[in-house]
Amino acid sequence: MKSYVLITGGAGFIGTNLANRLLAEGREVVLFDNLSRSGSIQNYEWLRRTHGNRVRLELADVRNRRGLRTAVSGATEVYHFAAQVAVTTSFQKPAHDFNVNARGTLNLLEELRRLPDPPFLLFTSTNKVYGSLRNVELRQNGARWEPVDRNTLEFGVDERQQLEFLSPYGCSKGAADQYVLDYAAHFGLPAVVFRMSCIYGPHQFGVEDQGWLAHFVIRSLDAQPITIFGDGKQSRDVLYVEDLVDAMLLARTRMDDIAGHVFNIGGGPGKSISLLELLRMIGERIGCMPEVRYAESRPGDQRYYASDIRGIRAATGWNPKTAVKEGVGNLYDWVIEARQPAIQVHGGGA
């Protein structure tokens, strides 16, 4: 490969979907990944079967600057997804969380800064940088929490929301988020930050502490109980992964205008759903309600979050297209296909 798109964490859920789109466009892609994430080997093998030699795996870790130096040398675009992704794990191993998320991002920024003409960089941050949103007054509306303030109810949380890092994960991702913006401002890196809400879709091997939509679908299809932390009325705007990829590819074409900016990315209030509402949706699909167990809320959990997406819309013209029910149906179908013949649908139904 003479030039290529570099995706750190490229064999993960979002990386796989982005790589698939880029490869379908005829691009060459390098996946920089240590394959530590569950499902990453399967994702890489699927990309190889689908696209052949135009995708290459660099089996490496963002904590290794030498590996990053080699990887960025021929990159025309860089998408930085490699991360420790779970809040719970960050409490168990805060030093590891910091080294991967904060130090790993700084390593990448330093290697990009060495280049005479640094490539476009898109970094995926998180809505967790806003903490628990304790200044957003909430009320219950049926099976969900929602904001009292009409503007927030209609549009969601915008990029002016005060940062509040409440967990080691929030601290490490927040630090990385701010470093990317600072390197864009002071070193001229053509970089943009996406603060993302809940992303879901095919190639997501969700587990209890990350990727909750896929986790709920997988547990339900396996007829296994699902643990709800809190009352289940926590609501999130959710974004189908193909819509996220659309936003990323639009961002690369607008880089001259949006470099150094941060955008909240999600489905927006119109594509929000509570945990209880998702369970009902899954129950309708499989023909029986999943078994639920309740536990105490986890530290820093947000009872409500929805992205105000007017910023990214104004900058790029992007708008999410996939309805929640359609997207969850696509995820459901992919889980069944990916896990055959081991999985059997319990309870019949549509």
For the chain, report the end-to-end CA distance as a whole number of angstroms. 46
Q: Which residues pair with 139 in a beta bridge?
A: 146
d(CA 61, CA 100): 8
Nearest to 253 by CA among 190, 161, 321: 190
Going by C-beta distance under 8 Å and a sequence separation of 6 or more, which residues neighbour residue 323? Answer: 271
Taking the CB of residue 5, how many other CB atoms lie within 10 A of it? 25
Handedness of CA 34, 204, 106, 164 (dihedral sign): negative
- Which listed residue (44, 169, 305, 332) is catalytic? 169
d(CA 123, CA 80): 5
Paired sense of beta strands 191-196 and 144-147, if any: unpaired
Q: Give the tokens for residue 304.
A: 């409500």
Task: Tell me whether residue 79 is one of the annotated catalytic residues.
Answer: no
Nearest to 158 by CA among 122, 191, 197: 197
Active-site residues: which are they? 169
